[in-house]
Structure 1
Amino acid sequence: MECRLGCGACCIAPSITSPIPGMPDGKPAGERCIQLNTDNLCMIFGKPERPAVCGEFTANIDVCGSTNEQAIWLITDLESSTS
């Protein structure tokens, strides 16, 4: 599965404990990453400062569903189940 351009669920729903440029302590679940622009595109995509955890994420129907709204719900559910 390919990422849905402009979804951004993986940059909003989960917590990220790695430092992110502009967010040295990472980000809590449910908070938009500071690197996510208004079109829900990562401004550091493909750059070395992008956290490894972000680069390792692979879109999957079980995590992303078939809509952006499903992705937010599924990732939020996974986050709450594993925190």
Structure 2
Amino acid sequence: MKCREGCGACCIAPSISTPIPGMPHGKPAGERCVQLSVDNLCSIFGQPERPAVCGAFQADIEVCGSSQEQAITLIGWWEQMTAA
């Protein structure tokens, strides 16, 4: 599956434990990344300072569902199920 441009769920729902420009301690689950534009696009996409976990994310129907709302719910569920 291809990412839905302008979705941004993967920049909101999961926690990111590595530094992000503007978020030196990463971000908690459910918090919008400061690098996510008002159009829900990553402002550091393709740049070396983008966290590796972000670059490794693969859109999948089981994770992203069929809408942004479903993606936020599903990614949030995966976050809770895999939290240590």
What aligned pairs does 1:1-83 form with structure 2 within 5 A after superposition? 1-83=1-83
2:48 maps to amino acid: P
Deviations 1:25-48 (A, max 9, x none): 000000000000100000000001
DSSP 3-state at the match of 1:31? coil
Please, which runs of 5 or more residues in structure 2 have no aligned partner?
none
Structure 1, gaps ≥5 residues long: none
CA RMSD of aligned residues (A): 0.5
Question: Per the alignment, in what secondary structure is the counterpart of residue 79 of structure 2?
Answer: helix
Rounded Cα–Cα distance in structure 2 between residues aligned with 1:56 and 1:11: 13
Count of residues in correspondence between the two structures = 83
CA drift at 1:13: 0.2
TM-score by length of 1: 0.98
Percentage identity across paired residues of the two chains: 72
- Shift in Å at residue 54 of structure 1? 0.3
Q: Which segments of structure 1 move beyond 2 Å, counting only runs of 4 or more?
A: none
